[in-house]
Structure 1
Amino acid sequence: MTEALERYFVPEPSKFPIIGAIALLLFGSGAAMWLNKVGAGPWIFFGGIAILIYMLFGWFGQVVRESESGLYGKNVDKSFRWSMGWFIFSEVMFFAAFFGALFYVRVLALPSLATGDNEALLWEGFTGAWPSSGPRAGDAFTPMGAWGIPAINTLILLTSGATLTWAHYGLLKGARGQLKLGLLATVVLGAIFLSLQIYEYTHAYSELNLRLDSGIYGSTFYLLTGFHGLHVTVGAIMLTVMLFRAIAGHFSAEHHFAFEAAAWYWHFVDVVWLFLFVVVYWL
């Protein structure tokens, strides 16, 4: 058995990759049709989501069963770690592009457009100051401040990172109750973060006149905070799955990479928020 685990486990041919490809095809084409007001668009879009959810449950369920049956050894564990590492790196590049766009606009584009005769190309009174609202009086908005919900959400995410680390320590020392309680606290804190962000968006639209189309400030604000909120949602779902698996008795001090992968992702989300809080809200 030990010799078998040292070899690389090769799973049987699976139907799930082609199912996932079909789901993404329906998802993308349905979204495009919906945006272009084609009647069947919403049905195709949600059909793609339903098939994607089926694929995720089936494929990840198969991986969990294989892991719990002892088929994965050190070589598979190493592959999982490299895969998750490269996935998080791709997410780092994803956000780097967004932060780069914000840096380019604030530090390079706006000051350059405010020099020489460039003002004539835009609108009267353009100064190149950040945030830029637009030429029409109705476009004026109030920028989002840092010391309120954003600061509270920062504290919430930092606390969630601590509770997740506490849960990990519980797993390493065999304290299952600490593992479950730490995971539950982390998921709850993630839900509170998302609830406050929804309230923040409602406040921005209704009282600050800050919308997605509020010039480059509105575009970058909602792009960065919205995609980060999406990542928090994904991370919370991952940790919820880890909680259910912990309740079912999965994981041991020696074998628990699924938990570690979710923890890596959550800590990545925490770090991105710290940069986002400073660059988008504070400065």
Structure 2
Amino acid sequence: MQQEYERYYVPAQSPWPIVGAVALFLIAVGAGTVVLETTKGESGYGTHTLTAGILVLLVMLFGWFKNQIDESMSGLYSDQLGRSYRQGMSWFIFSEVMFFAAFFGALFYARFISVPWLGGASNNEMTNAVLWPTFEAMWPLINTPDGTTTQVMSAAGLPTINTIILLVSSVTLHFAHTGLEQQKRKQLTWMLGVTILLGLIFLTLQVQEYIHAYRDLGLTLQSGVYGNTFFMLTGFHGMHVTLGTIILIVLFFRVLKGHFTPENHFAFQAGSWYWHFVDVVWVMLYIFVYVL
């Protein structure tokens, strides 16, 4: 069977790309609507649209993963296709790097350009007097033009705990990968299971952090540029952790079924790449959003 597909394997037509596009469209529309409704203090169809998009996305992931696994276990993939998968995953992670680079760029622009400019730096005293006379050039911005005051999310407590959790999860995933390469299936199973547990704990604590921000600190999406950048960066990162955890759960069930060998385990390797990337992003986020 391998010889038949030695040059390249072309899969059959699949409905999953268009299903995924519909899911992402619903998520984008739903998320944007939820933000607008939250800002205006209204309730509408945003939550329902976002939920529908997430459900469709999960259906797409389940169906597409199943097709990929069946093709791989049937011996249809060749070395050439394996190289294509590695190139594709590398470019995907690169696109994610640029995705977060744009958000970090927005943070740096607001902090080092807009804030000093509004504060009257570079001979802009007139701008300061006209646009926001009581503005204080400091970061984080805890005062908004309408007079609302918020509190800053401290790096101590949940953010630091979550940082430790993600760093430890990278170590456990590395030992899981080592166990796979050395044919130590018990080590592979346990370390991968611990990694998944740590990811779920991280997400649970992030929910607690958001509750604390809204209820105790008055830190919301309406809290000016500081609140916007805080929830934008941490929220999108949380979404990536959620996706990474789903990928690891799929890999865990495949491990239980006896899939993967030291010679053929790129799916596991790709999941590891993604998880380590998410961890690196969080370390940068922790430094630039919480500490500095």
Query: Identity of aligned pairs, percent?
Result: 52
The answer as to 2:147 corresponding to 1:134 is no
2:192 aligned partner: 183
Provide, for residues 112-135 of structure 1, a one-character-per-residue CA deviation record: whole Å limited to 9, x for no partner.
121111222333321221122213
Decide whether aligned partners of structure 1 residues 49 and 269 sit closer, same or farther in structure 2, where only a CA change above 3 A counts.
closer
The answer as to 2:17 corresponding to 1:7 is no
Stretches of structure 2 lacking an aligned partner (at least 5 in a row): none
Which letter does structure 2 place at the counterpart of 1:146? A
Decide whether aligned partners of structure 1 residues 17 and 254 sit closer, same or farther in structure 2, where only a CA change above 3 A counts.
same
Match of 1:268 among 251, 272, 277: 277
Provide, for residues 40-78 of structure 1, a one-character-per-residue CA deviation record: whole Å limited to 9, x for no partner.
776666555444433322222011001011111111111
Give the alignment of 1:202-217 within 5 angstroms: 202-217=211-226
How far apart, in 2, do the equivalents of 1:174 and 1:264 lie? 20
Provide, for residues 175-215 of structure 1, a one-character-per-residue CA deviation record: whole Å limited to 9, x for no partner.
11111111110011011111111111111111111111111
What is the CA RMSD across the aligned residues, in angstroms?
2.4
Decide whether aligned partners of structure 1 residues 52 and 157 sit closer, same or farther in structure 2, where only a CA change above 3 A counts.
closer
Which letter does structure 2 place at the counterpart of 1:89? F
Decide whether aligned partners of structure 1 residues 27 and 72 sit closer, same or farther in structure 2, where only a CA change above 3 A counts.
same
How far apart, in 1, do the equivalents of 2:88 and 2:43 lie? 38
How far apart, in 1, do the equivalents of 2:49 and 2:8 lie? 39
Give the secondary-structure state (helix, strand or coil) at the position aligned to 2:66: helix
CA contact (8 A) 2:23 2:54 kept: yes
Match of 1:256 among 257, 265, 271: 265
Give the secondary-structure state (helix, strand or coil) at the position aligned to 1:11: coil
Which is worse superposed, 231-240 or 118-127? 118-127
How far apart, in 2, do the equivalents of 1:44 and 1:54 lie? 15
Which letter does structure 1 place at the counterpart of 2:161? I
Decide whether aligned partners of structure 1 residues 274 and 47 sit closer, same or farther in structure 2, where only a CA change above 3 A counts.
closer
1:246 aligned partner: 255
The two structures have a TM-score, normalised by structure 1, of 0.91
How far apart, in 1, do the equivalents of 2:100 and 2:30 lie? 26
CA contact (8 A) 1:5 1:74 kept: no
- The offset of 1:7, in angstroms, is 1.2
2:157 aligned partner: 148
Which letter does structure 2 place at the counterpart of 1:58? G
How far apart, in 2, do the equivalents of 1:162 and 1:228 lie? 19
The answer as to 2:62 corresponding to 1:57 is yes
Decide whether aligned partners of structure 1 residues 89 and 54 sit closer, same or farther in structure 2, where only a CA change above 3 A counts.
same
Decide whether aligned partners of structure 1 residues 75 and 217 sit closer, same or farther in structure 2, where only a CA change above 3 A counts.
same
How far apart, in 2, do the equivalents of 1:245 and 1:200 lie? 33
The two structures have a TM-score, normalised by structure 2, of 0.88
- The offset of 1:108, in angstroms, is 1.0
CA contact (8 A) 2:118 2:132 kept: no
Give the secondary-structure state (helix, strand or coil) at the position aligned to 1:66: helix
CA contact (8 A) 1:164 1:263 kept: yes
Provide, for residues 154-175 of structure 1, a one-character-per-residue CA deviation record: whole Å limited to 9, x for no partner.
1110000000000000000111
Give the alignment of 1:118-133 within 5 angstroms: 118-132=127-141, 133=143
Give the secondary-structure state (helix, strand or coil) at the position aligned to 2:217: coil
Give the secondary-structure state (helix, strand or coil) at the position aligned to 1:270: helix
How far apart, in 1, do the equivalents of 2:216 and 2:45 lie? 36
Stretches of structure 1 lacking an aligned partner (at least 5 in a row): none
- The offset of 1:252, in angstroms, is 0.6
How far apart, in 1, do the equivalents of 2:12 and 2:138 lie? 59
